[in-house]
Amino acid sequence: MPIRPENKALYPPDWPQISRAVKERAGWKCEQCAAPHGQVIWRSVDMTTYMLERGEVHDAETGEYLGMARRSEYPGGKMLKVVLTTAHLDHNPANCADDNLKALCQFHHLRYDAKLHAENAAKTARARKATGDLFAAQS
């Protein structure tokens, strides 16, 4: 996932090399579902499986191989290109210890960070409400 400019200073200067090493360690596959970086996959409508271009179907949570399917037989919903990212398990960009970093596809990284994103959105909403103009005319 791209680093927002306002967060760039939180990461070490050698972050690109660290991130690449994590992805190489994972064999350029998501450590959650084994989806391969750069490949086009079809995610099932219920998000429980995905299918690779060659027809191999995998469990979307474990990466377990489930068998072969034709595209016309697969209950696919969404076709996408897998982008492998590096997740900080403790959500601290400064903590780049090997056991704190995990290679995740964009789907699993967003899912892993969902609670944090929700908390940040709530803080932002509260902050916006709190910054109203105190001197504006009341109607």
Task: Read off the pLDDT of residues 105-132 as tens digits, 9 standing for 90 and up.
Answer: 999 999 988 787 677 667 777 777 766 5
Instruction: Give the contacts of 32 (CB within 8 A, at least 6 positions apart).
Output: 61, 63, 102, 104, 105, 108
Q: 3-state DSSP call for residue 80?
A: strand
In the chain, the number of structural domains is 1
| Domain ranges, residue 85 | 5-125
Q: Report if residue 138 sits inside a domain.
A: no
Q: Report if residue 80 sits inside a domain.
A: yes
Q: Report if residue 61 sits inside a domain.
A: yes
Q: Report if residue 135 sits inside a domain.
A: no
pLDDT at position 121: 67
Q: Report if residue 111 sits inside a domain.
A: yes
- pTM, two decimals, is 0.79
